[in-house]
Amino acid sequence: MKKFLIVLLSVSTLACATGYNPRYYYNQVQAVNLTSGSITDVSVVIVGSRTTLACDDVNKNAMCADIFGKRLYPQQGMELGWTHTDGSRKSETLSPTVPVTFGRAPLRIMMLINADGSVKAFFEQDEPAGIWDI
């Protein structure tokens, strides 16, 4: 166990010293409606990328989603826009961070639209990361 901790600390130190900057990929975008009713004109644009997603109507507890080929995550963020249940137009610019525990398997970008109009954005990954994936 002691040897493992020493190796892990050495790899971590080397990664920090060399400016380790892993490349992450994504292949899904999901905007989930957690409001009290239907929302309309949902649009997602990944900044600096050709990825866009649009849905006319998204019912309560439903999602606007797309699955596509693996793409490099550009790290400039994403823009989410929709017409809320009260008729007002809402938009958010989001830049969630990718957890370092994620590996090379493609990520899913999740955006949860809450009843108050706030958005929680994060990444999910189906396959667990191994120590050698990062």
Residue 105 domain boundaries: 22-124
pLDDT digits (tens, 9 = 90+) for 10-65: 656 655 544 555 678 889 999 999 999 999 999 999 888 778 899 999 999 999 99
In angstroms, the CA 111 to CA 80 distance is: 8
In a domain, 81, yes or no: yes
In a domain, 67, yes or no: yes
Beta strands 25-34; 63-72: pairing state: antiparallel
In angstroms, the CA 77 to CA 45 distance is: 9
CATH code at position 56: 2.60.40.2890
pTM, rounded to two decimals: 0.74
Mean pLDDT throughout 114-126? Answer: 91
Q: How many domains does the chain have?
A: 1
In angstroms, the CA 39 to CA 2 distance is: 54
